[in-house]
């Protein structure tokens, strides 16, 4: 499972508690693999059961004891195995494409409103990306350059992807304003030069 392997990936850098993991998730992989605190705890239980991690309890008086998880050799092997194996992606699910698909029963005004609000949402995503908080420098700065490179490569993908969506949305808005739908299919497909 992806979440389990992402946890193993972070534990490879050193032992962490469930709480630590949640924090680092939120400032690093959140844009392509968000995780709830509760889900992380469940995964940790699962990984322990499989022998991929081990728990070291650190007693505290004023708070619940900290449970520091360490990756085992079995966990390292499992991570390595998973990282090199091409995996079939879970199918994409885009709700707003369902809305567009059935937009035939909406007015131009309604569908434009939908597309414009979507464009604004994507714009906000781009701003957050470019604001430079993910991956958070605190967590990235001590890594060797090659590791940093891969962390930021995923950010680059996110930005690239968001710009593509935004460009497409703007073009769709223009086509609808231009009433290209009168041409049916021909109006919907953009001309694309070969990759």
Q: Residue 42: which of a second copy, DNA, none does it interact with, CB under 5 to 8 A by kind? A: DNA
Cβ-based nearer residue to a second copy, 62 or 191: 191
Report the C-alpha gap between 106 and 102 in whole angstroms.
8
Residue 169 Cα distances to 32, 113, 133, 158, 160, angstroms: 21, 12, 25, 16, 14
At its nearest, how many Å lie between DNA and the CB of residue 168? 23
Determine if 91 is a binding residue for DNA (CB under 7 A). yes
Determine if 136 is a binding residue for DNA (CB under 7 A). no
Report the C-alpha gap between 7 and 18 in whole angstroms.
9
Nearest residue to 5 via CA among 38, 50, 37: 50
Residue whose structure tokens are 């969506």? 165
Letters for 93-132 (x = contact with DNA by CB under 7 A, - = none) are x---------------------------------------
Q: Which residues contact 175 (CB under 8 A, 6 or more apart)?
A: 181, 187, 188
Q: Residue 31: which of a second copy, DNA, none does it interact with, CB under 5 to 8 A by kind? A: a second copy
Nearest residue to 112 via CA among 173, 189, 25, 175: 173
Letters for 62-81 (x = contact with a second copy by CB under 8 A, - = none) are -----------------xx-
User: In the complex, which residues of this chain contact DNA (CB under 7 A)?
Assistant: 1-3, 17-20, 23, 34-39, 41-42, 44-45, 60, 62-67, 90-91, 93
């Amino acid at each position: 499972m992806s979440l389990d392997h992402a946890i193993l990936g972070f534990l490879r850098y050193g032992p962490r508690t469930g709480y630590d993991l949640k924090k680092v998730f939120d400032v690093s992989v959140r844009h392509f693999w968000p995780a709830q605190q509760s889900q992380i705890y469940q995964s940790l239980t699962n990984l322990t059961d499989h022998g991929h991690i081990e728990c070291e309890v650190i007693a505290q008086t004023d708070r619940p004891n900290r449970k520091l998880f360490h990756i085992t050799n079995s966990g390292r092997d499992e991570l390595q195995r998973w990282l090199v194996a091409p995996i079939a992606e879970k199918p994409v699910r885009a709700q707003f494409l369902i809305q567009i698909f059935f937009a035939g029963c909406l007015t131009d005004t309604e569908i434009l409103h939908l597309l414009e609000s979507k464009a604004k949402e994507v714009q906000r995503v781009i701003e957050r990306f470019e604001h430079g908080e993910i991956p958070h420098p605190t967590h990235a700065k001590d890594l060797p350059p090659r590791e940093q490179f891969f962390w930021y490569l995923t950010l680059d993908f996110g930005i690239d992807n968001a710009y593509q969506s935004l460009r497409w949305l703007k073009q769709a808005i223009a086509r609808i304003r231009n009433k290209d739908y009168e041409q049916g299919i021909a109006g919907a497909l953009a001309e694309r030069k070969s990759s």
